[in-house]
Amino acid sequence: MPCECLVGSDGSVIMICSRGRKPVTPCHYCGKPITSLCDYPVGEGKTCDRPMCNKCKTKIGPDLDVCQEHNNPDDIFKTQHGGAS
Ligand SMILES: [Zn+2]
Ligand SMILES: [Zn+2]
């Protein structure tokens, strides 16, 4: 079966390899299977949701991870405190 390549509304690419298993989302940075999504709040109750593997994510709390774009003190603070809104 061929792999399907879907482009999300935010421009992120999702690869789906259909072999009777669950769709696998690849890491945004290196393409490995992901373990987390970025928890940075982007407003309206949504989060950045950038998919990341164990190696590429930055853990900032018990159930909080940020992508490399949001791995800075300001964004980490917002993520830990639920955003500005
Ligand atoms: Zn990765
Ligand atoms: Zn992010």
Interval 64-81: pLDDT, tens:
999 999 999 999 999 999
pLDDT of residue 10: 82
Q: Which-ligand-closest: CA of 52?
A: 1
Report residue 57 as tokens.
Answer: 């994510």
pLDDT of residue 3 exceeding 80, the answer is no
Over pLDDT 90: what percentage of the chain? Answer: 67
Distance 78 CA to ligand 2 centre (A): 11
Q: Which-ligand-closest: CA of 53?
A: 1
pLDDT of residue 54 exceeding 80, the answer is yes
Q: Which-ligand-closest: CA of 10?
A: 2
Q: Domain-by-domain residue ranges, the chain?
A: 3-80
